[in-house]
Amino acid sequence: MNHNPERREIAIYSREELCGDYFILWIWDDELSKISNPGQFFEIRAHSSLHDAWDSQRIPKLFKPISVYDNSGGRIGFFIKNVGPGTSALARLKAGDTLELIGPLGNGFPIVKGRRVLFLSGGIGYPPLSYLQKELINHNLIFWSHGGASSADVFPCDEVWTVDGSFGKQGMVTEGMADLLLSKKIDLVYSCGPGSMLKQAAQIAAAHGIEHYTSMEAYMACGIGVCHGCAVPVGTDEDWTYLRVCKEGPVFNAADVLWSEL
């Protein structure tokens, strides 16, 4: 659910190092914790005072959209991969440094109970499903298949695929999806990851007539629906429109997305 988020300044209380280029920044905020839901995200950046100190490093001033990885008892975790100038600035942060953030933003995953669920994630698509799992685990049977480029992109789940074969099964995570739908008697899919993976997952779920909700990734400047830079086509070939990933999304019913235009 969208609301009217304000920009806040919150100190990082802990930083957790993960494998490869991944890390987690933890904050405490009871109010934000109560209104955040799985699949939503925050726009975050290092505090402007730190940007001034880092001026010679040409640190980007734009906020970065980061999904919520964990949220419990006032504690919120942002699971981040250092892949470019924006996230490299976040990677320099440590406990005690201050974040500027706006959120929670967007619409999250529908919470459905009493189903046989498949989680399908790729790369940095892992965090929002981890948060969702905590909300669903007591009410659903869940099987989680995750894919990454290599063993540096592997996180706790039921099945792992890596492109280079360095861990788990070799190939794309969608290669095993059809078999899982049948063998696990799946009747609901949640997915998050690169666009090409989501498109393949949507086609497979549709071919099996299975309900599928997907969290889409997109470049965005504002994060609040003003710039329309993150719009995706939804509808049919004959009747379609654009919806914004940051506002109407990032979670969509995969059957509504016009994948042929992506």
170 and 193 belong to one structural domain: yes
Determine, yes or no, domain membership for 17.
yes
- Please say whether the beta carbons of 119 and 201 come within 8 A: no
Q: Report the CATH number that the domain containing residue 218 is assigned in CATH.
A: 3.40.50.80
Residues 112-119: what's their mean pLDDT? 96
Q: What is the pLDDT of residues 38-49, one digit of tens each?
A: 999 999 998 877
Q: What is the pLDDT of residues 132-191, one digit of tens each?
A: 999 999 889 999 999 999 999 999 999 999 999 999 999 999 999 999 999 999 999 999
Determine, yes or no, domain membership for 111.
no
First to last CA, the chain: 26
- Tokens read off for 213: 């909700």
Determine, yes or no, domain membership for 156.
yes
Share of the chain above pLDDT 90, in %: 78
106 vs 246: CA distance, rounded Å = 5
187 and 244 belong to one structural domain: yes
206 vs 97: CA distance, rounded Å = 46
Determine, yes or no, domain membership for 1.
no
Report the chain's mean pLDDT, rounded to a whole number: 92
Q: Which residues pair with 3 in a beta bridge?
A: none
Last residue of a domain, one of 105, 131, 149: 105
Domain that holds residue 140: 116-261
Number of structural domains, the chain? Answer: 2
Determine, yes or no, domain membership for 40.
yes
100 and 125 belong to one structural domain: no
71 vs 74: CA distance, rounded Å = 7
User: Has residue 89 got a pLDDT over 90?
Assistant: no
81 and 161 belong to one structural domain: no
Determine, yes or no, domain membership for 201.
yes
Query: CB-based contacts of 34: which residues, under 8 Å, 6+ apart?
Result: none
90 and 220 belong to one structural domain: no
Last residue of a domain, one of 54, 72, 105: 105
**HSE of 40 in the Cβ direction (CA atoms, 13 Å)?**
24
Q: What is the pLDDT of residues 183-242, one digit of tens each?
A: 999 999 999 999 999 999 999 999 999 999 999 988 777 778 888 889 999 998 889 999
Residue 75, pLDDT score: 97
99 and 45 belong to one structural domain: yes
Q: Report the CATH number that the domain containing residue 37 is assigned in CATH.
A: 2.40.30.10
Query: CB-based contacts of 5: which residues, under 8 Å, 6+ apart?
Result: 102, 103, 104, 105, 224
Residue 126, pLDDT score: 97
174 and 148 belong to one structural domain: yes
Last residue of a domain, one of 80, 105, 130: 105
Determine, yes or no, domain membership for 2.
no
Residues 62-85: what's their mean pLDDT? 93
86 and 149 belong to one structural domain: no
Residue 114: φ, ψ to 5°: 75, 35
141 and 233 belong to one structural domain: yes
226 vs 220: CA distance, rounded Å = 10
61 vs 86: CA distance, rounded Å = 8
193 and 66 belong to one structural domain: no
92 and 123 belong to one structural domain: no
- Tokens read off for 153: 């992109």
105 vs 201: CA distance, rounded Å = 25
11 and 95 belong to one structural domain: yes
Query: CB-based contacts of 235: which residues, under 8 Å, 6+ apart?
Result: 241, 256, 258
